[in-house]
């Protein structure tokens, strides 16, 4: 099965695998599964690193999103215009409007991908969230 990794799941996969829920650990360890990452995740991490809000424990952002991502065989999901336009059709969810999340949600919906995320509001958009 193909899964979309949210930013937090991608970071924990690389920095603290055991902090991930056991369900995620099993899915990630299953060689039959494939994984993709939204460019929104790379963008979000770059901004947080720049602002000093994300510490990657000595791993460079280039290494994390490049070499380590490829080593783990995590593809980068291209952004399509249909996904960007899909953001305008998403329901308004109270206290949730992070632009990075909205793109990840739109990509999950248009590509019909389940998402590994710790965000408790993704399901409110109709996204198939792995628990």
Structure tokens at 107: 């990509």
**pLDDT 10s digits, 14-27:** 999 999 999 999 99
**pLDDT 10s digits, 51-106:** 999 999 899 999 999 988 998 999 999 999 999 999 999 999 999 989 999 999 99
CATH topology of domain 2-125: Rossmann fold (3.40.50)
DSSP three-state, residue 128: coil
Q: Yes or no: say if 74 and 36 are a contact pair by the CB < 8 Å rule.
A: yes
Q: How far apart are CA 59 and CA 81, in angstroms?
A: 32
Non-local (6+) Cβ contacts of 113 within 8 A are 2, 3, 4, 36, 107, 128
Q: Give the per-residue pLDDT at 97.
A: 87
**pLDDT 10s digits, 112-126:** 999 999 999 999 999
DSSP three-state, residue 5: strand
> Residue ranges of the domains in the chain?
2-125
């Amino acid at each position: 099965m193909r899964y979309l990794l949210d930013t937090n799941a991608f970071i924990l996969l690389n920095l603290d695998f055991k902090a991930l829920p056991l369900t995620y650990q099993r899915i990630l360890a299953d060689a039959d599964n494939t994984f993709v990452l939204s460019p929104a995740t790379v963008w979000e991490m770059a901004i947080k690193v720049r602002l000093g809000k994300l510490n990657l424990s000595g791993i460079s952002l280039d290494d994390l999103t490049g070499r380590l991502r490829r080593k783990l065989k995590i593809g980068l999901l291209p952004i399509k215009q249909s996904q960007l336009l899909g953001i305008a059709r998403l329901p308004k969810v109270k206290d949730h409007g992070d632009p990075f999340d909205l793109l990840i949600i739109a990509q999950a919906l248009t590509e019909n991908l389940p998402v590994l995320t710790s965000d408790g509001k993704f399901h409110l958009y109709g996204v198939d969230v792995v628990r």
